[in-house]
Amino acid sequence: MLSDQRKGHIVWVSDVKAARSLEKYGNVHFISRRLHYAVVYVDADREEETLRNLQRLPYVKKIERSLRSELKTEYPKESEDKTRFYSM
């Protein structure tokens, strides 16, 4: 049974090719070849177990929790739209 809640984590890796194998632990959303990290979403109910297993991998340097779910994405419209004043 799949959980509706997912938690995002930034997994810093030493080997980008090996980071492809992170898919068996969760949903790999993005892998940065230049900065050597992967964005992985895991089920919230199995999060602790999954993170322990990820930490044991030899190519994983560090795991950080993604704060994207805590960011405010809805903004109130307090001022009028000024784009029409700046258009040509």
**Does residue 26 sit within a domain?**
yes
Token duo for residue 21: 């194998």
**Does residue 40 sit within a domain?**
yes
Residue range 8-33, pLDDT digits in tens = 999 999 999 999 999 999 999 999 99
**So what's the pLDDT on residue 3?**
45
pTM of the predicted model as reported, rounded to 2 decimal places: 0.74
Dihedral sign (CA 4, 22, 68, 31):
negative
**In CATH, what number is assigned to the domain containing residue 23?**
3.30.70.80
Number of domains making up the chain? 1
**Does residue 13 sit within a domain?**
yes
Token duo for residue 70: 């805590």
Query: Distance between CA atoms of 28 and 20, rounded to whole angstroms?
Result: 8
- Which residues constitute the domain of residue 36? 6-69
